[in-house]
Chain A
Amino acid sequence: MSIAPAEYDVTNRASEEGARSEDYLWTLNFGPQHPATHTTLRLVLKLEGERVVDAMPEMGYLHSGFEKIGEHLTFNQYVTVTDRMNYISPIANNVAWHHAVEALLGIDLTPRCRYVRTIVAELARISDHLLSNGAVGLDTGAFTFFLYAFYQREVIYDIFETLCGARFTNSYTRVGGVSQDFTPLVIEKIRAFLKTFPKTLDDMERLLTRNRIFVDRTKGVGVLTKEEAINRSATGPVARASGVTRDLRKDEPYLAYADLDFKVACASAGDCYARYLVRMQEMRESLKIVAQALENLPSGPVNVGIDQRMALPTKQQVYSSIEGTISHFELSMANRGFEVPFEESYAAIEAPNGELGFYIVGDGDDTAYRARCRPPSVLHFALFPFLIRGHTLSDVVAVLGSLNIIAAELDR
Protein backbone atom coordinates (compact mmCIF):
# COMPACT_ATOMS: atom_id res chain seq x y z
CA MET A 1 0.00 0.00 0.00
CA SER A 2 1.51 3.21 -1.12
CA ILE A 3 0.82 6.69 0.01
CA ALA A 4 -0.38 8.96 -2.71
CA PRO A 5 2.20 11.75 -2.73
CA ALA A 6 -0.20 14.49 -3.66
CA GLU A 7 -2.49 13.86 -0.71
CA TYR A 8 0.26 13.78 1.84
CA ASP A 9 2.52 16.44 0.47
CA VAL A 10 2.78 18.84 3.40
CA THR A 11 4.25 21.54 1.19
CA ASN A 12 1.31 21.39 -1.19
CA ARG A 13 -0.68 24.53 -0.68
CA ALA A 14 -2.82 24.23 -3.78
CA SER A 15 -5.98 23.93 -1.73
CA GLU A 16 -5.28 27.31 -0.21
CA GLU A 17 -5.23 29.10 -3.50
CA GLY A 18 -7.96 31.59 -3.89
CA ALA A 19 -8.40 31.93 -0.16
CA ARG A 20 -8.19 35.45 1.17
CA SER A 21 -5.68 36.24 3.85
CA GLU A 22 -8.49 37.07 6.30
CA ASP A 23 -9.60 33.46 6.19
CA TYR A 24 -6.56 32.58 8.25
CA LEU A 25 -7.38 35.08 10.99
CA TRP A 26 -9.01 33.80 14.06
CA THR A 27 -10.85 35.64 16.75
CA LEU A 28 -10.07 35.42 20.43
CA ASN A 29 -12.50 36.64 23.02
CA PHE A 30 -10.54 38.05 25.97
CA GLY A 31 -12.70 38.76 28.99
CA PRO A 32 -15.04 40.10 30.36
CA GLN A 33 -14.02 37.66 33.09
CA HIS A 34 -10.33 37.00 32.75
CA PRO A 35 -7.64 37.12 35.44
CA ALA A 36 -5.31 39.22 33.31
CA THR A 37 -7.84 41.97 32.61
CA HIS A 38 -7.93 42.52 36.41
CA THR A 39 -11.30 44.19 35.96
CA THR A 40 -14.43 43.54 33.97
CA LEU A 41 -13.69 44.54 30.42
CA ARG A 42 -13.71 42.71 27.15
CA LEU A 43 -11.36 42.59 24.18
CA VAL A 44 -12.09 40.88 20.90
CA LEU A 45 -8.72 40.15 19.35
CA LYS A 46 -8.17 39.31 15.72
CA LEU A 47 -5.13 37.08 15.53
CA GLU A 48 -2.91 35.84 12.76
CA GLY A 49 -1.05 33.08 14.50
CA GLU A 50 0.20 34.77 17.61
CA ARG A 51 0.21 38.26 16.17
CA VAL A 52 -2.61 40.65 16.96
CA VAL A 53 -3.94 42.13 13.73
CA ASP A 54 -6.70 44.14 15.35
CA ALA A 55 -8.41 44.52 18.67
CA MET A 56 -11.91 45.65 19.48
CA PRO A 57 -12.26 46.82 23.07
CA GLU A 58 -15.71 46.68 24.54
CA MET A 59 -16.82 48.28 27.77
CA GLY A 60 -19.97 48.84 29.78
CA TYR A 61 -20.06 45.66 31.87
CA LEU A 62 -19.82 47.70 35.06
CA HIS A 63 -21.97 50.62 33.95
CA SER A 64 -23.99 51.75 36.95
CA GLY A 65 -25.17 55.18 35.87
CA PHE A 66 -22.97 57.17 38.24
CA GLU A 67 -23.57 60.38 36.27
CA LYS A 68 -27.33 59.87 36.51
CA ILE A 69 -27.04 59.23 40.25
CA GLY A 70 -25.02 62.45 40.49
CA GLU A 71 -28.15 64.33 39.46
CA HIS A 72 -30.04 62.91 42.43
CA LEU A 73 -27.55 63.03 45.31
CA THR A 74 -26.35 66.18 47.03
CA PHE A 75 -22.78 67.39 46.71
CA ASN A 76 -21.81 65.79 50.01
CA GLN A 77 -23.65 62.52 49.39
CA TYR A 78 -22.17 61.96 45.96
CA VAL A 79 -18.66 61.62 47.36
CA THR A 80 -19.52 58.05 48.35
CA VAL A 81 -20.19 57.29 44.69
CA THR A 82 -16.88 58.76 43.56
CA ASP A 83 -15.15 56.24 45.84
CA ARG A 84 -16.46 53.54 43.59
CA MET A 85 -15.16 55.05 40.36
CA ASN A 86 -11.42 54.48 40.53
CA TYR A 87 -11.42 52.20 43.54
CA ILE A 88 -7.64 51.87 43.40
CA SER A 89 -7.21 55.46 44.59
CA PRO A 90 -10.61 56.47 46.00
CA ILE A 91 -9.34 59.45 47.97
CA ALA A 92 -8.02 61.09 44.81
CA ASN A 93 -11.55 60.86 43.37
CA ASN A 94 -12.99 62.42 46.53
CA VAL A 95 -10.52 65.29 46.21
CA ALA A 96 -11.35 65.70 42.51
CA TRP A 97 -15.11 65.79 43.11
CA HIS A 98 -15.04 68.36 45.87
CA HIS A 99 -12.39 70.35 44.04
CA ALA A 100 -14.89 70.73 41.21
CA VAL A 101 -17.81 71.45 43.56
CA GLU A 102 -15.80 74.12 45.34
CA ALA A 103 -14.82 75.66 42.01
CA LEU A 104 -18.53 75.96 41.18
CA LEU A 105 -19.49 77.33 44.59
CA GLY A 106 -16.43 79.59 44.80
CA ILE A 107 -15.14 78.28 48.12
CA ASP A 108 -11.64 79.13 49.29
CA LEU A 109 -10.24 76.32 51.41
CA THR A 110 -8.26 76.83 54.61
CA PRO A 111 -4.47 76.39 54.29
CA ARG A 112 -4.55 73.29 56.49
CA CYS A 113 -7.21 71.68 54.34
CA ARG A 114 -5.14 72.30 51.21
CA TYR A 115 -2.18 70.52 52.75
CA VAL A 116 -4.23 67.67 54.19
CA ARG A 117 -5.87 67.02 50.82
CA THR A 118 -2.51 67.21 49.07
CA ILE A 119 -1.06 64.59 51.41
CA VAL A 120 -3.94 62.14 51.01
CA ALA A 121 -4.04 62.64 47.25
CA GLU A 122 -0.34 61.85 46.98
CA LEU A 123 -0.69 58.79 49.20
CA ALA A 124 -3.47 57.69 46.85
CA ARG A 125 -1.13 58.22 43.90
CA ILE A 126 1.51 56.00 45.49
CA SER A 127 -1.13 53.37 46.20
CA ASP A 128 -2.38 53.51 42.60
CA HIS A 129 1.07 53.28 41.04
CA LEU A 130 1.98 50.39 43.33
CA LEU A 131 -0.99 48.47 42.05
CA SER A 132 -0.58 49.36 38.41
CA ASN A 133 3.15 48.63 38.29
CA GLY A 134 2.62 45.60 40.48
CA ALA A 135 0.02 44.27 38.05
CA VAL A 136 2.34 44.82 35.09
CA GLY A 137 4.96 42.84 36.99
CA LEU A 138 2.47 40.10 37.84
CA ASP A 139 1.28 39.78 34.25
CA THR A 140 4.81 39.56 32.93
CA GLY A 141 5.75 36.95 35.50
CA ALA A 142 7.22 38.89 38.42
CA PHE A 143 5.17 37.68 41.34
CA THR A 144 7.51 38.81 44.14
CA PHE A 145 7.43 42.37 42.87
CA PHE A 146 3.65 42.29 43.04
CA LEU A 147 3.69 41.08 46.63
CA TYR A 148 6.16 43.80 47.65
CA ALA A 149 3.83 46.38 46.10
CA PHE A 150 0.76 44.95 47.75
CA TYR A 151 2.34 44.92 51.17
CA GLN A 152 2.97 48.65 50.90
CA ARG A 153 -0.59 49.27 49.70
CA GLU A 154 -1.69 47.60 52.90
CA VAL A 155 0.32 50.12 54.90
CA ILE A 156 -1.37 52.99 53.05
CA TYR A 157 -4.79 51.43 53.67
CA ASP A 158 -3.87 51.29 57.32
CA ILE A 159 -3.10 55.02 57.32
CA PHE A 160 -6.46 55.76 55.68
CA GLU A 161 -8.25 53.56 58.20
CA THR A 162 -6.69 55.49 61.06
CA LEU A 163 -7.57 58.73 59.31
CA CYS A 164 -11.23 58.21 58.47
CA GLY A 165 -12.28 54.75 59.57
CA ALA A 166 -12.55 53.24 56.10
CA ARG A 167 -9.83 51.36 54.32
CA PHE A 168 -11.20 51.15 50.83
CA THR A 169 -14.13 53.51 50.30
CA ASN A 170 -12.91 56.49 52.23
CA SER A 171 -15.43 59.26 51.34
CA TYR A 172 -12.97 61.54 53.05
CA THR A 173 -13.68 65.02 51.69
CA ARG A 174 -16.63 67.30 52.37
CA VAL A 175 -17.67 70.55 50.75
CA GLY A 176 -15.30 73.11 52.25
CA GLY A 177 -13.18 70.64 54.15
CA VAL A 178 -12.67 67.03 55.12
CA SER A 179 -14.53 64.64 57.38
CA GLN A 180 -11.72 64.24 59.95
CA ASP A 181 -8.64 66.26 60.70
CA PHE A 182 -5.23 64.60 61.03
CA THR A 183 -4.63 63.19 64.49
CA PRO A 184 -1.11 62.78 65.93
CA LEU A 185 -1.41 59.04 65.32
CA VAL A 186 -2.10 59.58 61.60
CA ILE A 187 0.92 61.86 61.29
CA GLU A 188 3.03 59.31 63.10
CA LYS A 189 1.91 56.55 60.75
CA ILE A 190 2.60 58.64 57.66
CA ARG A 191 6.06 59.48 59.03
CA ALA A 192 6.73 55.79 59.59
CA PHE A 193 5.61 55.05 56.02
CA LEU A 194 7.87 57.79 54.66
CA LYS A 195 10.77 56.20 56.50
CA THR A 196 10.20 52.61 55.41
CA PHE A 197 8.81 52.99 51.92
CA PRO A 198 11.94 54.24 50.08
CA LYS A 199 13.75 51.03 51.02
CA THR A 200 10.95 48.90 49.56
CA LEU A 201 10.91 51.08 46.47
CA ASP A 202 14.65 50.49 46.04
CA ASP A 203 14.08 46.77 46.44
CA MET A 204 11.31 46.86 43.85
CA GLU A 205 13.50 48.71 41.40
CA ARG A 206 16.30 46.23 41.93
CA LEU A 207 13.88 43.39 41.29
CA LEU A 208 12.41 44.62 38.05
CA THR A 209 13.90 47.71 36.45
CA ARG A 210 16.94 45.92 35.06
CA ASN A 211 15.37 42.48 34.90
CA ARG A 212 16.13 41.03 31.46
CA ILE A 213 12.80 39.21 31.11
CA PHE A 214 10.75 42.21 32.16
CA VAL A 215 12.69 44.66 29.98
CA ASP A 216 12.39 42.39 26.95
CA ARG A 217 8.66 42.10 27.42
CA THR A 218 7.98 45.80 27.87
CA LYS A 219 10.61 47.73 25.90
CA GLY A 220 9.40 48.78 22.46
CA VAL A 221 5.94 47.32 23.16
CA GLY A 222 2.88 49.51 22.73
CA VAL A 223 4.68 52.65 21.58
CA LEU A 224 2.70 55.89 21.75
CA THR A 225 4.27 58.93 20.13
CA LYS A 226 3.88 62.41 21.53
CA GLU A 227 1.69 63.56 18.62
CA GLU A 228 -0.61 60.56 18.98
CA ALA A 229 -0.80 61.00 22.75
CA ILE A 230 -2.13 64.53 22.30
CA ASN A 231 -4.31 63.61 19.33
CA ARG A 232 -5.91 60.81 21.34
CA SER A 233 -6.36 62.92 24.49
CA ALA A 234 -4.06 60.84 26.67
CA THR A 235 -3.19 62.38 30.04
CA GLY A 236 -1.31 61.45 33.17
CA PRO A 237 1.55 58.95 33.26
CA VAL A 238 0.54 57.53 29.87
CA ALA A 239 1.04 60.91 28.18
CA ARG A 240 4.09 61.80 30.24
CA ALA A 241 5.81 58.58 29.22
CA SER A 242 5.38 59.79 25.63
CA GLY A 243 7.01 63.16 26.19
CA VAL A 244 3.95 65.29 26.94
CA THR A 245 5.04 67.38 29.92
CA ARG A 246 1.50 68.25 30.97
CA ASP A 247 0.93 67.80 34.70
CA LEU A 248 -1.88 69.79 36.28
CA ARG A 249 -0.03 69.89 39.59
CA LYS A 250 2.54 72.14 37.91
CA ASP A 251 0.51 73.66 35.09
CA GLU A 252 -2.60 74.67 37.03
CA PRO A 253 -1.35 74.48 40.63
CA TYR A 254 -4.27 73.62 42.86
CA LEU A 255 -4.37 72.77 46.59
CA ALA A 256 -0.85 73.23 48.03
CA TYR A 257 1.21 72.16 45.03
CA ALA A 258 2.43 75.69 44.31
CA ASP A 259 4.28 75.71 47.67
CA LEU A 260 5.98 72.37 47.26
CA ASP A 261 9.15 71.34 45.49
CA PHE A 262 8.81 68.36 43.17
CA LYS A 263 9.63 67.34 39.63
CA VAL A 264 7.40 66.01 36.88
CA ALA A 265 8.52 62.56 35.77
CA CYS A 266 8.68 62.34 31.99
CA ALA A 267 10.05 59.96 29.40
CA SER A 268 10.12 60.12 25.63
CA ALA A 269 10.08 56.47 24.56
CA GLY A 270 6.32 56.05 25.00
CA ASP A 271 6.43 52.27 25.43
CA CYS A 272 5.28 50.08 28.33
CA TYR A 273 8.72 50.27 29.93
CA ALA A 274 8.66 54.08 29.88
CA ARG A 275 5.23 54.07 31.52
CA TYR A 276 6.57 51.76 34.21
CA LEU A 277 9.58 54.02 34.81
CA VAL A 278 7.44 57.18 34.94
CA ARG A 279 5.20 55.60 37.57
CA MET A 280 8.20 54.48 39.63
CA GLN A 281 9.67 57.97 39.54
CA GLU A 282 6.31 59.56 40.34
CA MET A 283 6.14 57.52 43.52
CA ARG A 284 9.48 58.98 44.61
CA GLU A 285 8.26 62.50 43.80
CA SER A 286 5.03 61.85 45.69
CA LEU A 287 7.07 60.82 48.71
CA LYS A 288 8.91 64.14 48.51
CA ILE A 289 5.59 66.00 48.31
CA VAL A 290 4.11 64.13 51.29
CA ALA A 291 7.24 64.69 53.39
CA GLN A 292 7.29 68.43 52.66
CA ALA A 293 3.56 68.90 53.16
CA LEU A 294 3.57 66.94 56.40
CA GLU A 295 6.48 68.88 57.91
CA ASN A 296 4.94 72.21 56.88
CA LEU A 297 1.36 71.34 57.81
CA PRO A 298 -0.29 74.65 58.76
CA SER A 299 -2.17 74.83 62.03
CA GLY A 300 -5.68 76.21 62.31
CA PRO A 301 -9.07 74.87 61.32
CA VAL A 302 -9.32 72.26 58.59
CA ASN A 303 -12.82 73.24 57.47
CA VAL A 304 -13.98 76.63 56.24
CA GLY A 305 -15.51 78.87 58.91
CA ILE A 306 -19.12 78.63 60.05
CA ASP A 307 -19.77 82.11 58.65
CA GLN A 308 -19.54 80.66 55.14
CA ARG A 309 -22.21 78.02 55.87
CA MET A 310 -20.52 75.42 53.70
CA ALA A 311 -18.98 72.85 56.04
CA LEU A 312 -20.83 71.29 58.95
CA PRO A 313 -19.71 72.92 62.23
CA THR A 314 -18.21 70.83 65.00
CA LYS A 315 -20.48 69.62 67.79
CA GLN A 316 -18.69 72.02 70.13
CA GLN A 317 -19.72 74.94 67.90
CA VAL A 318 -23.27 73.64 67.48
CA TYR A 319 -23.90 73.42 71.22
CA SER A 320 -22.08 76.54 72.35
CA SER A 321 -22.75 79.21 69.73
CA ILE A 322 -25.86 80.45 67.96
CA GLU A 323 -23.98 80.71 64.64
CA GLY A 324 -23.01 77.06 64.94
CA THR A 325 -26.60 76.02 65.66
CA ILE A 326 -27.96 78.03 62.75
CA SER A 327 -25.30 76.76 60.38
CA HIS A 328 -25.94 73.17 61.39
CA PHE A 329 -29.69 73.63 60.92
CA GLU A 330 -29.31 75.33 57.55
CA LEU A 331 -27.04 72.62 56.19
CA SER A 332 -29.05 69.69 57.56
CA MET A 333 -32.56 70.68 56.50
CA ALA A 334 -33.81 69.30 53.22
CA ASN A 335 -34.97 72.57 51.70
CA ARG A 336 -31.94 74.61 52.81
CA GLY A 337 -28.29 74.16 52.08
CA PHE A 338 -25.70 75.72 49.84
CA GLU A 339 -26.22 78.71 47.66
CA VAL A 340 -25.44 77.30 44.24
CA PRO A 341 -25.16 79.63 41.25
CA PHE A 342 -27.04 78.98 37.99
CA GLU A 343 -23.73 78.32 36.33
CA GLU A 344 -21.52 75.54 35.08
CA SER A 345 -17.84 74.94 35.53
CA TYR A 346 -15.17 72.37 34.93
CA ALA A 347 -12.35 71.66 37.34
CA ALA A 348 -9.84 68.86 37.21
CA ILE A 349 -7.01 67.45 39.26
CA GLU A 350 -4.04 65.36 38.27
CA ALA A 351 -5.36 62.02 39.46
CA PRO A 352 -2.97 59.04 39.49
CA ASN A 353 -4.38 57.90 36.16
CA GLY A 354 -4.51 61.25 34.41
CA GLU A 355 -6.73 64.27 34.29
CA LEU A 356 -9.80 63.54 36.38
CA GLY A 357 -12.27 66.39 36.09
CA PHE A 358 -15.90 67.04 36.76
CA TYR A 359 -18.15 69.28 34.71
CA ILE A 360 -20.86 70.39 37.10
CA VAL A 361 -23.98 72.34 36.23
CA GLY A 362 -25.60 74.12 39.16
CA ASP A 363 -29.30 75.01 39.27
CA GLY A 364 -29.61 76.68 42.66
CA ASP A 365 -30.07 73.34 44.36
CA ASP A 366 -27.81 71.21 46.57
CA THR A 367 -27.85 68.59 43.88
CA ALA A 368 -25.93 68.97 40.66
CA TYR A 369 -28.09 69.41 37.58
CA ARG A 370 -25.45 67.52 35.64
CA ALA A 371 -22.34 65.86 37.05
CA ARG A 372 -20.11 64.84 34.19
CA CYS A 373 -17.00 62.91 35.11
CA ARG A 374 -14.08 63.11 32.70
CA PRO A 375 -12.51 59.72 33.30
CA PRO A 376 -8.93 59.21 32.09
CA SER A 377 -9.47 55.46 31.73
CA VAL A 378 -11.96 55.79 28.86
CA LEU A 379 -9.53 57.67 26.67
CA HIS A 380 -6.70 55.30 27.60
CA PHE A 381 -8.78 52.23 26.82
CA ALA A 382 -9.62 53.74 23.43
CA LEU A 383 -5.85 53.81 22.80
CA PHE A 384 -5.55 50.07 23.22
CA PRO A 385 -6.21 48.85 19.63
CA PHE A 386 -3.79 51.47 18.34
CA LEU A 387 -1.06 50.31 20.72
CA ILE A 388 -1.45 46.56 20.34
CA ARG A 389 -1.61 46.24 16.53
CA GLY A 390 1.31 44.17 15.29
CA HIS A 391 2.33 42.87 18.70
CA THR A 392 1.87 39.34 19.99
CA LEU A 393 -0.85 37.91 22.17
CA SER A 394 1.44 37.84 25.22
CA ASP A 395 1.95 41.62 24.86
CA VAL A 396 -1.76 42.22 25.39
CA VAL A 397 -1.46 41.94 29.15
CA ALA A 398 1.67 44.11 29.25
CA VAL A 399 0.00 46.92 27.28
CA LEU A 400 -3.28 46.61 29.17
CA GLY A 401 -1.48 46.68 32.50
CA SER A 402 0.65 49.68 31.59
CA LEU A 403 -2.46 51.69 30.65
CA ASN A 404 -3.92 50.94 34.09
CA ILE A 405 -7.53 50.59 33.02
CA ILE A 406 -9.90 50.55 35.97
CA ALA A 407 -13.23 49.27 34.71
CA ALA A 408 -15.28 50.94 37.41
CA GLU A 409 -13.93 54.30 36.28
CA LEU A 410 -14.23 53.28 32.65
CA ASP A 411 -17.94 52.51 32.82
CA ARG A 412 -19.07 54.57 35.79
Chain B
Amino acid sequence: MPHPCPAVDDVVAELVARFGPLETSVFRGQTRVELRPADTSDALRLLKDRGFDLLVDVTCVDYLEYKGAKHRYGLVYLLANTVTNQRLTVRAYLDDPDPSIRSVVPLWEGANWLEREVWDLFGIRFEGHPDLRRLVMPEEFTAHPLRKDYPLQGRGERHNFPVITRDHS
Protein backbone atom coordinates (compact mmCIF):
# COMPACT_ATOMS: atom_id res chain seq x y z
CA MET B 1 0.00 0.00 0.00
CA PRO B 2 1.41 3.40 -0.95
CA HIS B 3 2.32 5.92 1.68
CA PRO B 4 -0.53 8.41 2.25
CA CYS B 5 1.66 11.37 1.31
CA PRO B 6 4.19 10.15 -1.22
CA ALA B 7 6.60 12.46 -2.98
CA VAL B 8 5.51 14.09 -6.21
CA ASP B 9 7.93 11.95 -8.22
CA ASP B 10 6.44 8.75 -6.84
CA VAL B 11 2.94 9.88 -7.72
CA VAL B 12 4.06 10.77 -11.25
CA ALA B 13 5.71 7.34 -11.55
CA GLU B 14 2.46 5.73 -10.50
CA LEU B 15 0.59 7.73 -13.13
CA VAL B 16 3.06 6.58 -15.78
CA ALA B 17 2.67 2.96 -14.68
CA ARG B 18 -1.08 3.21 -15.01
CA PHE B 19 -1.61 5.47 -18.02
CA GLY B 20 1.46 4.73 -20.12
CA PRO B 21 4.32 7.05 -21.01
CA LEU B 22 3.44 10.64 -20.13
CA GLU B 23 5.25 13.83 -20.86
CA THR B 24 6.37 15.44 -17.63
CA SER B 25 8.32 18.63 -17.15
CA VAL B 26 9.55 20.81 -14.31
CA PHE B 27 9.71 24.59 -14.52
CA ARG B 28 10.72 26.76 -11.53
CA GLY B 29 10.09 23.85 -9.23
CA GLN B 30 6.60 23.13 -10.55
CA THR B 31 5.99 19.59 -11.80
CA ARG B 32 3.62 19.27 -14.73
CA VAL B 33 2.11 16.13 -16.18
CA GLU B 34 0.45 15.92 -19.57
CA LEU B 35 -2.42 13.47 -19.81
CA ARG B 36 -4.62 12.27 -22.61
CA PRO B 37 -8.07 13.85 -22.27
CA ALA B 38 -9.73 10.44 -21.93
CA ASP B 39 -7.52 9.55 -18.94
CA THR B 40 -7.73 12.88 -17.12
CA SER B 41 -10.73 12.13 -14.94
CA ASP B 42 -9.35 8.77 -13.77
CA ALA B 43 -5.90 10.23 -13.21
CA LEU B 44 -7.29 13.07 -11.12
CA ARG B 45 -9.22 10.54 -9.05
CA LEU B 46 -5.97 8.67 -8.44
CA LEU B 47 -4.20 11.90 -7.51
CA LYS B 48 -6.97 12.82 -5.11
CA ASP B 49 -6.57 9.43 -3.41
CA ARG B 50 -2.82 10.02 -3.16
CA GLY B 51 -3.25 13.19 -1.13
CA PHE B 52 -3.75 15.94 -3.72
CA ASP B 53 -7.04 16.82 -2.12
CA LEU B 54 -7.37 20.51 -3.00
CA LEU B 55 -8.34 21.55 -6.52
CA VAL B 56 -6.81 25.00 -6.66
CA ASP B 57 -7.91 25.98 -10.14
CA VAL B 58 -9.22 24.76 -13.47
CA THR B 59 -8.38 26.97 -16.38
CA CYS B 60 -7.60 26.88 -20.06
CA VAL B 61 -5.19 28.38 -22.56
CA ASP B 62 -5.98 28.90 -26.23
CA TYR B 63 -2.80 28.14 -28.22
CA LEU B 64 -4.13 29.42 -31.55
CA GLU B 65 -1.31 31.97 -32.06
CA TYR B 66 1.32 30.27 -29.90
CA LYS B 67 4.61 29.46 -31.61
CA GLY B 68 5.14 25.71 -31.99
CA ALA B 69 1.86 24.68 -30.40
CA LYS B 70 0.48 21.32 -31.53
CA HIS B 71 -2.98 21.63 -30.05
CA ARG B 72 -5.59 24.35 -29.85
CA TYR B 73 -6.65 24.24 -26.20
CA GLY B 74 -4.66 23.34 -23.13
CA LEU B 75 -6.63 22.62 -19.99
CA VAL B 76 -4.85 23.21 -16.70
CA TYR B 77 -5.74 21.54 -13.41
CA LEU B 78 -3.80 22.92 -10.47
CA LEU B 79 -3.74 20.54 -7.53
CA ALA B 80 -2.36 20.94 -4.04
CA ASN B 81 -1.86 18.70 -1.07
CA THR B 82 -3.19 20.37 2.07
CA VAL B 83 -1.02 18.20 4.36
CA THR B 84 2.38 18.27 2.67
CA ASN B 85 1.79 21.47 0.64
CA GLN B 86 3.06 19.93 -2.57
CA ARG B 87 1.66 21.13 -5.83
CA LEU B 88 1.10 19.37 -9.11
CA THR B 89 -0.12 20.72 -12.44
CA VAL B 90 -2.07 18.42 -14.74
CA ARG B 91 -2.44 19.36 -18.39
CA ALA B 92 -4.72 17.95 -21.06
CA TYR B 93 -4.86 19.13 -24.67
CA LEU B 94 -8.03 19.39 -26.71
CA ASP B 95 -8.75 20.33 -30.30
CA ASP B 96 -11.53 21.66 -32.46
CA PRO B 97 -14.17 20.93 -33.68
CA ASP B 98 -15.64 19.53 -30.47
CA PRO B 99 -13.43 20.28 -27.49
CA SER B 100 -14.88 18.31 -24.62
CA ILE B 101 -13.66 16.44 -21.57
CA ARG B 102 -15.20 14.63 -18.63
CA SER B 103 -16.16 16.88 -15.76
CA VAL B 104 -14.41 16.54 -12.39
CA VAL B 105 -17.38 17.84 -10.38
CA PRO B 106 -17.98 14.28 -9.05
CA LEU B 107 -14.50 14.51 -7.51
CA TRP B 108 -14.47 18.11 -6.29
CA GLU B 109 -17.55 20.23 -5.84
CA GLY B 110 -15.24 23.25 -6.21
CA ALA B 111 -14.81 22.42 -9.89
CA ASN B 112 -18.43 23.36 -10.55
CA TRP B 113 -18.01 27.09 -11.12
CA LEU B 114 -14.45 26.79 -12.41
CA GLU B 115 -15.63 24.52 -15.23
CA ARG B 116 -18.59 26.75 -15.92
CA GLU B 117 -16.17 29.64 -16.36
CA VAL B 118 -14.00 27.67 -18.78
CA TRP B 119 -17.12 26.69 -20.75
CA ASP B 120 -18.25 30.29 -20.81
CA LEU B 121 -14.99 31.85 -21.89
CA PHE B 122 -13.42 29.08 -24.01
CA GLY B 123 -16.30 26.87 -25.09
CA ILE B 124 -14.87 23.64 -23.67
CA ARG B 125 -17.76 21.27 -22.98
CA PHE B 126 -17.54 19.34 -19.71
CA GLU B 127 -19.42 16.07 -20.00
CA GLY B 128 -21.34 15.10 -16.91
CA HIS B 129 -21.34 18.61 -15.46
CA PRO B 130 -24.57 19.06 -13.48
CA ASP B 131 -25.24 22.66 -14.50
CA LEU B 132 -23.15 23.80 -17.45
CA ARG B 133 -24.40 27.35 -17.89
CA ARG B 134 -22.47 30.51 -18.61
CA LEU B 135 -20.94 32.04 -15.49
CA VAL B 136 -19.82 35.59 -16.22
CA MET B 137 -21.22 36.39 -19.65
CA PRO B 138 -24.96 36.84 -20.17
CA GLU B 139 -27.02 33.81 -21.21
CA GLU B 140 -27.81 35.22 -24.66
CA PHE B 141 -24.13 35.70 -25.51
CA THR B 142 -23.03 33.48 -28.37
CA ALA B 143 -19.22 33.70 -28.51
CA HIS B 144 -16.50 32.48 -26.17
CA PRO B 145 -14.52 35.67 -25.58
CA LEU B 146 -11.20 34.40 -24.22
CA ARG B 147 -10.52 32.48 -27.43
CA LYS B 148 -7.71 34.08 -29.37
CA ASP B 149 -9.84 34.60 -32.49
CA TYR B 150 -12.22 36.80 -30.51
CA PRO B 151 -11.23 40.48 -30.79
CA LEU B 152 -10.42 42.54 -27.69
CA GLN B 153 -13.17 45.06 -28.41
CA GLY B 154 -15.81 42.44 -29.07
CA ARG B 155 -18.01 41.98 -32.09
CA GLY B 156 -20.63 44.54 -31.21
CA GLU B 157 -22.80 42.14 -29.21
CA ARG B 158 -23.40 44.78 -26.64
CA HIS B 159 -25.25 46.99 -29.09
CA ASN B 160 -27.55 44.14 -29.98
CA PHE B 161 -28.51 43.21 -26.43
CA PRO B 162 -32.27 43.36 -25.85
CA VAL B 163 -33.29 46.57 -24.13
CA ILE B 164 -35.84 46.21 -21.37
CA THR B 165 -38.25 49.11 -21.34
CA ARG B 166 -40.38 50.16 -18.42
CA ASP B 167 -43.43 48.57 -20.03
CA HIS B 168 -41.80 45.18 -20.36
CA SER B 169 -40.02 44.97 -17.03
Contacts and interface: CB of A to CB of B under 8 A. Distances in A.
A230 B81 CA distance: 10
A65 interface: yes
A252 B85 contact: yes
Interface in B108-146: 108-114, 117, 121, 134-138, 145-146
A11 to B, nearest CB: 40
Interface residues of A, number: 45
Contacts of A264: none
Main SS at interface, chain A:
mixed
A374 interface: yes
Contacts of A345: 27-28, 30
A379 B30 contact: no
Contacts of B145: 65, 68
A234 B145 CA distance: 27
B115 to A, nearest CB: 11
A336 interface: no
Given A230-B53, A374-B56, A379 B137 contact: no
A25 interface: no
Interface in A378-408: 378-379, 381-382
A344 interface: yes
Contacts of B137: 60, 63
A230 B112 CA distance: 14
A346 B78 contact: yes
B46 interface: no
B54 interface: yes
B136 A233 contact: no
A369 B110 CA distance: 26
Interface string A234-275: 100000000011100001100000000000000000000000
Which of B80, B113, B136, B146 has the most chain A CB atoms closer than 10 A to its own CB? B136
Contacts of A331: none
A370 B61 contact: yes
Contacts of B59: 359, 372, 374
A230 B54 contact: yes
Contacts of A359: 57, 59, 76, 78
Contacts of A230: 53-54, 82
Interface in A78-113: 103-104, 106
A344 B63 CA distance: 12
Interface string B40-77: 00000000000001111101011001111000000010
B151 to A, nearest CB: 10
A48 interface: no
A372 B38 CA distance: 25
A382 B113 contact: yes
Contact of B56 (A233, A244, A343, A363): A233
9 contacts: A68-B152, A233-B54, A244-B82, A252-B85, A346-B76, A372-B57, A372-B59, A379-B114, A382-B110
The 9 closest A-B pairs by CB, nearest first: A233-B110, A251-B85, A60-B136, A382-B113, A63-B136, A374-B57, A372-B59, A232-B110, A370-B61
Interface of B: 27-28, 30, 53-57, 59, 61-62, 65-68, 76, 78, 80, 82, 85, 87, 89, 108-114, 117, 121, 134-138, 145-146, 152
